[in-house]
Chains A and B, each alone.
Chain A
Amino acid sequence: MRQCSVFRNGDGLGQALEEIRQLEKRCLNVGLANKSKIFNYELEEALELGNMLKTAEAIVFSALQRNESRGAHYRSDCPERNDEEWLKHTLVYVAPQGLKISYKPIAITRFLPEKRRY
């Protein structure tokens, strides 16, 4: 968890990704004691757990690829913003072999991208 807050680096994100993937494996063995069909929060939370882990994996995986710093993504191993390579949205897909990543250009309208100077 501490590896994925605003200040992060490649090593930490890599470790976190490994940990999340271990948890996802464990999550496949989740069992339920409560079989009720009405207001079964145990079932709801079990389903949420799997989805949250998948989302966490997608976030950390994308952050690991982005080797620059931008906004709330501050990489201490690459502290500079790099518009040349990274002025683009990250898109993550769930594929059979694992997460698949692609990028989409940014539509720039009124506010031109520029470096923060404060």
Chain B
Amino acid sequence: MKAKVKIYRFNPETDKEPHYDTFTVEANPNDRILDCLNKIRWEQDSSLAYRMSCAHGICGSDAVTINGMPALACQKLIKDYDYTRELLIEPLKYFPIIKDLTVDMTPFFKRIEAINPNMPEKPLNAPMDKERVQSIEERGRIDDAIKCVLCGCCVAACPVILEQEPKFIGPAAILRAQKYIFDSRTTDKIERMQVMEKPYGIWGCKSYYMCTMVCPKNIKVTEAILKTKKKIIQELHPKSE
């Protein structure tokens, strides 16, 4: 079959305004969207810019907007869409565009850095030369958050960030904080919950569930945010319950 792919183009070296180019590629319904992009770059237009690395949904670098929804190009197949029509591929929303489908991810990683994504320097609940053993149940509380590949799809889909408050810390950073707040090995949970309560923090989330819908790793992001909110109420504001 032939797939028609309409792609957002912008080259800061030559273009004043972005435009769209349409390519036709020979493809199989089981091919990935990334295969189409590769075919276009290798066979038709070598100047097409998009990020990719592992091509197997692990590195999270090929997040793009496909028919309006953020997704990893390496995880979506042509048959996941109505391929009798043109496929529309655009860069992730919200992020500044560098060239074609590549965006500047700095605003994303700034958010992650804001919650201090490291284990505490203070001694953990065990001697440093011993393993910090977790029970299956303890590990289960953070299992979901650990699957995050930092692709940015959730931030690019968040209605709060897109339409209401662009400074909102966003789903990915809260999910990461949830991991530390519920991790049996961390000792700085209170401080972490206080960070979540800073302006533009966790209370900006209005539970639109878009992050959960688009997450390529099927993480229940909104659920993790709600769990964290509940824990903050219980631990920091017990009287308000």
Contact = CB atoms under 8 A, between A and B. Distances in A.
Chain A interface size, as a band, is under 10
B77 to A, nearest CB: 23
Contacts of A39: 49, 98-100, 102
Contacts, number: 27
A2 interface: no
Contacts of B46: 33-34, 41-42
A34 B48 CA distance: 10
Interface SS of chain B:
loop
Contacts of B12: 38
Chain B interface size, as a band, is 10 to 19
B207 interface: no
Contacts of A41: 41, 46, 48-49
Interface of B: 11-13, 41, 46-49, 98-100, 102
8 contacts: A33-B46, A34-B46, A36-B11, A36-B47, A37-B13, A38-B12, A38-B99, A42-B41
Given A36-B47, A38-B12, A39-B49, 4 more contacts: A36-B11, A38-B99, A39-B99, A41-B41
Interface pairs A-B: 5 shortest CB-CB: A39-B49, A42-B46, A34-B46, A39-B99, A34-B47
Interface of A: 33-34, 36-42
